[in-house]
Amino acid sequence: MTIRALITDKDGEGYATKLTTIDQADLGEGDVTISVEYSTVNYKDGLALNGKRIMASYPLIGGIDLAGTVEASDSINFQPGDKVLVNGYGLSQTHNGGYSEKARVPAEWVIPLPEKFSTRDAMAIGTAGYTAMLCILALEHGGLTPASGDVLVTGANGGVGSIAISILSGLGYNVLASTGRPSEAEYLKSLGAADIVDRNTLSEPGRPIGSEKWAGAVDSVGSHTLANVLAQTKYEGVVAACGLAQGMDLPASVAPFILRNVTLAGIDSVNAGRAKRIEAWERLAKDLDPAKLESTISEVKLEEVPDVANAILAGKVRGRTVVNVQS
């Protein structure tokens, strides 16, 4: 049986991604076969499709997220007809990912779809929304509450940022949204941002410690931005770091940690444990406003994914991009 798949390959001239057909037997190892209905395009997908550090071998089917219906299962935990989702793990790194009409994955990677969500909803959330919730859980674990003060969200126009703003504002936090696109202020405020912070005030080298401005932050940018966020975090504040859009470096000092007792929580969505994943998805079902989620979505077909991947690396994509795999 042949299926459509978006395959990234490498040759002497570079990297290329094209829509083609493959035999279902070539999907790879796993004990659950899923008919994929939707996937997503995340920043990490943009990196993967452009040959930037993600894929460990070629050719490979990209897509770090997928949601659909179980077609066959050798696991007692899943039956044909079950609605499920997969985020991260080896998808698009060492294992074929979600940009295919079918996927075969290990059962331990598979999460039952919360009843509140359709498979499209789950991919509108995707790794970005699941990561945003992991960040919020980390802020709460550090003791942050709405009474603690403002919470800053960097990379606010992206998937993590958009969903973090939506959830935090719904929980009662006063959210500041950092963006380099002033034209997006109305969109960000519609998600719940109370005010906009110019990205340029955070992205250049700054002082080791500055005036106290926010009690917490969700950062998907890294580098000088994260250093400046830490330097301006209030006493006993909490910062969750989940991304590296500006860079992997952290040109900061220990001053915020030893003078203000600031906590820096690292967030890994790829290999997070199953219990943490289930907790995050249960909280998403409880705390994410479906109307706000819908306002962040654009939908594309498989063949449009490479163009979106390029646009997301160029910082030209707002919110969440859902891939309708079967269209």
Q: Taken in order 98, 114, 324, 41, is the CA torsion positive or negative?
A: negative
* pLDDT tens-digit readout, 202-233: 999 999 999 999 999 999 999 999 999 999 99
Specify the pLDDT at position 315. Answer: 85
Please compute the mean of the pLDDT values over residues 22-30 and round it to a whole number.
93
Specify the pLDDT at position 145. Answer: 97
Contact 124, 298 (CB under 8 A): no
Residue 290's pLDDT band, with cuts at 50, 70 and 90, is confident
Give the homologous superfamily in CATH for domain 2-113+296-324: Medium-chain alcohol dehydrogenases, catalytic domain (3.90.180.10)
Report the distance separating Cα 15 and Cα 68, nearest Å. Answer: 28
Give percent above pLDDT 70 in the chain: 100
Helix (H) or strand (E) holding 5: strand 2-11
What are the φ/ψ torsions at residue 75 (nearest 5 degrees)? Answer: -105, 140
* pLDDT tens-digit readout, 139-150: 999 999 999 999
The conformation of residue 114, written as its DSSP 8-state character, comes to: P
What are the φ/ψ torsions at residue 33 (nearest 5 degrees)? Answer: -105, 130
Give the homologous superfamily in CATH for domain 127-266: NAD(P)-binding Rossmann-like Domain (3.40.50.720)
Q: Which residues contact 293 (CB under 8 A, 6 or more apart)?
A: 121, 124, 125, 129, 163, 166, 320
Specify the pLDDT at position 226. Answer: 98
Q: Is the pLDDT of residue 1 over 90?
A: no
* pLDDT tens-digit readout, 123-134: 999 999 999 999
Q: Provide the mean pLDDT of the chain.
A: 95
Number of other CB atoms surrounding residue 69 within 10 Å: 15
Specify the pLDDT at position 53. Answer: 83
- What token pair was written down for 128? 């970005």
What burial class does residue 55 get, using C-beta atoms within 10 Å of its C-beta: 0-12 exposed, 13-18 middle, 19+ buried?
buried
Residue 292's pLDDT band, with cuts at 50, 70 and 90, is confident
Give percent above pLDDT 90 in the chain: 87
**CB under 8 Å, gap of 24 or more: what pairs does 137-143 form?**
137/276, 137/279, 137/280, 137/283, 138/238, 138/240, 138/265, 138/267, 139/216, 139/218, 139/238, 139/240, 139/265, 141/265, 142/216, 142/238, 142/263, 142/265, 143/236, 143/238
Q: Which residues contact 95 (CB under 8 A, 6 or more apart)?
A: 28, 30, 89, 105
Specify the pLDDT at position 104. Answer: 97
Contact 259, 209 (CB under 8 A): yes
Reduce the DSSP state of residue 276 to 3 states and report it.
helix
* pLDDT tens-digit readout, 9-20: 998 788 999 999
* pLDDT tens-digit readout, 34-93: 999 999 999 999 999 999 989 999 999 999 999 999 999 999 999 999 999 999 999 999
Q: Which residues contact 142 (CB under 8 A, 6 or more apart)?
A: 216, 238, 263, 265
Name the residue with tokens 């891939």. 323
Report the distance separating Cα 7 and Cα 18, nearest Å. Answer: 6
* pLDDT tens-digit readout, 230-267: 999 999 999 999 999 999 999 999 999 999 999 999 99
The conformation of residue 78, written as its DSSP 8-state character, comes to: -
- The domain spans of the chain are 2-113+296-324, 127-266
